[in-house]
Amino acid sequence: MPAKSVRYSVLDLCSVRQGSMPAEAIANTVEVARHVEKLGYHRYWLAEHHNMVGIASSATSVLIGHVASKTNTIRVGSGGIMLPNHAPITIAEQFGTLEALYPGRIDLGLGRAPGGDGPAARALRRGLGSNGETFPQDLAELQKFLAPSVPNQLVRAVPGEGTNVPIYLLGSSDFSARLAGQLGLPFAFASQFAPDYLNFALDLYRNEFQPSEVLQQPYVIVGMNLFAADTDEAAQRAFTSLQQRFLNLIRGVPGKVPPPVDPNELRWTPPEQAHVSRMTRLSAVGSPAEVKASLEAILTETDADELIMTGDLYDHAARLRSYEIGAEVMKSINTDRAAALDAVGASR
């Protein structure tokens, strides 16, 4: 049977460009959110990172509230909150407050990584002593705080209790895939930077899935990079900002988003190039026609219910245009799928 219609969304790291400061990155994030809301994107997620000069989304809940206040209909949430960094009641209170302020628009995506280096993780966790091994227990505690309170409950999340803010599990390996399946929660795979276990994790999630009160069948969100432009050459040049960023990361010198260069000017060893290429495998880079072919290939590979796109183009206007093209292409893909479904129905 022809495939289903697919939602499309944005994952924003609130990246700081070279030569700029976090305030500009936050202002750009707001403009992007307002822009993609008009374009029909389903949700806008922000990611928790720490001790990174090139990412300004460390106070994720605060930034989610700011973006939600500047938009009207698009869902806004975390992609994700790194739960081991926090006491579950703190997250329940924060997201309960967000839900009270922006009812029906808040998502709570959760990960189990630290979202930063070792020193940052130690500074964040202090007395919590968590290294991610207690993630299932922390998740269960968080769910209880977001559920309706029970008689004689000693600790309650106010706001928070009874809100049942939608929870999504995020991951780049098998752990969260298996847990999301067993708990009947939607699952998002971080293939925008770690695609190696994508298909294994999705198969595991679908095979382990147990229907729950919140979800009757698996729901898969696939992360990917989008660098779209009116020409292939412009898109490939813009993409070099991400390639340089990953190159700096594997060299141990992460930093702000660098300006693009001519692809031939990238200076890397063959192993470095192979590493960056592997990390960025799930990327749609090019003109509208090229991007459509890439997105269709990703959907064929993953059978995703939703694509969540990240695109840290250095030039802000080019970034806005990239998301315009992404929306145009996704609408075209969904139109094609609807027509295919109609054709099947007419033939019966």
Tens digits of per-residue pLDDT, 33-54?
Answer: 999 999 999 999 999 999 989 9
Residue 1, pLDDT > 60, answer: no
Instruction: Return d(Cα 250, Cα 244) in angstroms, integer.
Output: 10
pLDDT score of 137: 95
Residue 2, pLDDT > 70, answer: no
Rounded to an integer, the average pLDDT of 320-348 is 90
Query: Are the CB atoms for 288 and 329 separated by under 8 Å?
Result: yes
Proportion of the chain above pLDDT 70, given as a percent = 94
Residue 131, pLDDT > 80, answer: no
Residue 73, pLDDT > 80, answer: yes
Q: What is the reported pTM?
A: 0.94
pLDDT score of 340: 87
pLDDT score of 4: 86
pLDDT score of 136: 95
pLDDT score of 123: 66
CA 100 to chain centroid, in Å, comes to 23
Domains of the chain, CATH where assigned: 7-232+282-347 (3.20.20.30)
Rounded to an integer, the average pLDDT of 323-335 is 98
Residue 116, pLDDT > 80, answer: no
Query: Are the CB atoms for 219 and 186 separated by under 8 Å?
Result: yes
pLDDT score of 343: 78
Per residue in 266-283, pLDDT tens? 999 999 999 999 999 999
Residue 130, pLDDT > 70, answer: no
Q: Lowest mean pLDDT: which of 149-158, 261-270, 281-290?
A: 149-158
**Banded model confidence at residue 187, pLDDT cuts 50, 70, 90:** very high
Residue 91, pLDDT > 60, answer: yes
Comparing 345 with 319, the larger pLDDT belongs to 319
pLDDT score of 128: 53
Q: Lowest mean pLDDT: which of 73-77, 218-222, 253-257, 292-296?
A: 253-257
**Banded model confidence at residue 113, pLDDT cuts 50, 70, 90:** confident
